[in-house]
Amino acid sequence: MVSNISGLTGAGGAFGVDPRLGRAPTPGSPATDAPTGDRVEISASSLGGAQASVSDALRQLRAAIEFSQDAQAFLVTVRAVARGDATQETLTSAVETYGVQLDYAREEGVGLLSGEDLVVQAEPGASPFIVEGADFALGAGLIAVTADASADDPQLDGLAQRSLESLQRVLGELTKAADALQAHQVFLGAAEAALGVRADLDAEGARLTALQVRQGLEAVGAPIANAEPAAVLGLFRA
């Protein structure tokens, strides 16, 4: 579901780590060996654009997660029907409700539910962060139960169970992507605030800011707690 989650901690990934910022300076050692006069070549407006992209992505991800949870409830109902604990009328009503909820989510711009990839420009100038979509339509693959499902179908319970298993995997990937982007949003906000306070950070000041942000993310305990964005930190260069 998420095509480059593995890049969160890779040096060349969307959220890679600048090797110069791997750990805090040892007491008594020089704070930095970078030449004097390094400058941050980034603007608050470019960081703001990344924040807007991440915010919109989080909106879509949260909506997709909420719908996925509704889909789980739908499939539980289907299994109850298949096992004789509910009627065809219950199944028909559940199918109709599911269709209405899916149409509404799609109209609200949650393309992930139609199999569209979500492309997030999470860092200025970096490769985008991509979350792969999945088609939630009835009978489309992820949800094997069809719109004309019958309570008498001997395969109905198996279809619902396989759909639940597939849905659980997708929901896990959506949640992981949302957690990663939410933690990344914290970093972007801190970086933007730092640039607003001091437009021309030298190398030492930039590294100190990055260290403070990393420590803040560690306290949050997010999936990318130890992974500063490469495109942002790569700008603290000679």
What CATH number does residue 130 fall under? 1.20.1330.10
pLDDT for res 42: 59
For residue 85, count other CB atoms closer than 10 A to its CB: 10
Examine residue 238 and state whether it is found in any structural domain, yes or no: no
Examine residue 177 and state whether it is found in any structural domain, yes or no: yes
Tell me the residue range of the domain where 226 lies: 41-233
Examine residue 212 and state whether it is found in any structural domain, yes or no: yes
Sequence length of the chain is: 238
pLDDT for res 112: 95
The answer to whether 238 and 37 have CB atoms below 8 angstroms apart is no
Examine residue 36 and state whether it is found in any structural domain, yes or no: no
Examine residue 208 and state whether it is found in any structural domain, yes or no: yes
At 90-144, the pLDDT tens digits run 999 999 999 999 999 999 999 999 999 999 988 877 889 899 999 999 998 899 9
SS3 125: coil
Give the containing element (helix H, strand E) for 140.
Answer: none
Question: 118: which strand partners?
Answer: 131
What does the alpha-carbon distance between residue 46 and residue 51 come to, in Å, rounded to a whole number?
9
What does the alpha-carbon distance between residue 195 and residue 42 come to, in Å, rounded to a whole number?
8
Examine residue 24 and state whether it is found in any structural domain, yes or no: no
Query: Which of 177, 209, 126, 49 is closest to 217 using CA atoms?
Result: 209
pLDDT values of the chain reduced to their tens digit, one per residue, 238 residues? 544 433 333 333 333 322 322 233 434 444 444 444 444 455 666 777 888 999 999 999 999 999 999 999 999 999 999 999 999 999 999 999 999 999 999 999 999 999 999 999 888 778 898 999 999 999 988 999 999 999 999 999 999 999 999 999 999 999 999 999 998 888 887 777 766 655 445 555 656 666 665 565 555 444 443 444 444 444 444 3
When divided into structural domains, the chain yields a total of 1
pLDDT for res 190: 77
Question: 119: which strand partners?
Answer: 130
> Which CA distances in Å does 188 have to 22, 48, 99, 132, 172?
19, 8, 37, 23, 24
Examine residue 193 and state whether it is found in any structural domain, yes or no: yes
Examine residue 210 and state whether it is found in any structural domain, yes or no: yes
pLDDT for res 122: 84
